[in-house]
Amino acid sequence: MNIPATNIKLLALDVDGILTDGRIMLDSNGNELKVFSAHDGMGIKAALQAGIVVAFVTSRSSKPVEVRATELGVTELYQGAQNKIDVVKSLAMKYNVSLDEVCFMGDDLVDLQPIVAVGWGVTVPDAPDEIRKYADYVTDRRCGCGAVREVIEIILKRNGLWDAVIKKYLGE
């Protein structure tokens, strides 16, 4: 498995099937409910503290995603993104990074272009065969269960940023 996670400056994440387990739950009033991993959330906070830009890029629109992004301090939120590669390219330009410095995590056909185009395309074991085939890396952890945290730790460790995160939580 290819792990070229060095020099990653931007992490773009699909939501359903990456930050969640991919299920869409609706109550009797049509309100959407989502379950997010606290471990993924801590990882996202660590990435932001280490200077990695984190973006949520999802083809659906959902109030719970907006709430979660706000809770974590993710300001780059793109909902209703039908052409995710255009969003990723726009983000790369905005932050003056090359596509080689971008990691994109996705799990389905709408994620295929960015997975292939970026420096490190990542998916989860739950993804269809076609997506796993084109990804540079398939996480050990499943979607919505710490897969994002796994990727963030790899990025931070390979870029020499993990120790600073640990020292912060040790109070040093």
Q: Is residue 103 part of a domain?
A: yes
Q: 146: domain CATH number?
A: 3.40.50.1000
Does residue 1 have a pLDDT over 80? no
Q: Is residue 4 part of a domain?
A: no
Task: Please report the pLDDT score of residue 2 as a whole number.
Answer: 59
Q: Where are the beta strands (DSSP E) in 4-49?
A: 10-13, 25-26, 32-33
Helices (H), the chain: 38-49, 63-72, 84-94, 112-117, 129-134, 147-158, 162-170
Task: Please report the pLDDT score of residue 46 as a whole number.
Answer: 96
Number of H helices, E strands in the chain: 7, 8
DSSP 141: S
pLDDT digits (tens, 9 = 90+) for 53-72: 999 999 999 999 999 999 99
Q: Is residue 74 part of a domain?
A: yes
Which value, to the nearest 10 degrees, does the dihedral of the CA atoms of residues 144, 148, 153, 156 take? -160
Q: Is residue 1 part of a domain?
A: no
Q: Total domain count for the chain?
A: 1
Q: Is residue 67 part of a domain?
A: yes
Does residue 42 have a pLDDT over 90? yes
Q: What angle do CA 154, 123, 4 make, to 5 degrees?
A: 40
pLDDT digits (tens, 9 = 90+) for 120-153: 999 999 999 999 999 999 999 999 999 999 999 9
* Domain range for 152: 10-170
Task: Please report the pLDDT score of residue 4 as a whole number.
Answer: 64
**pTM over the 0.75 mark:** yes
Q: Is residue 16 part of a domain?
A: yes
Q: Is residue 109 part of a domain?
A: yes
Q: Is residue 84 part of a domain?
A: yes
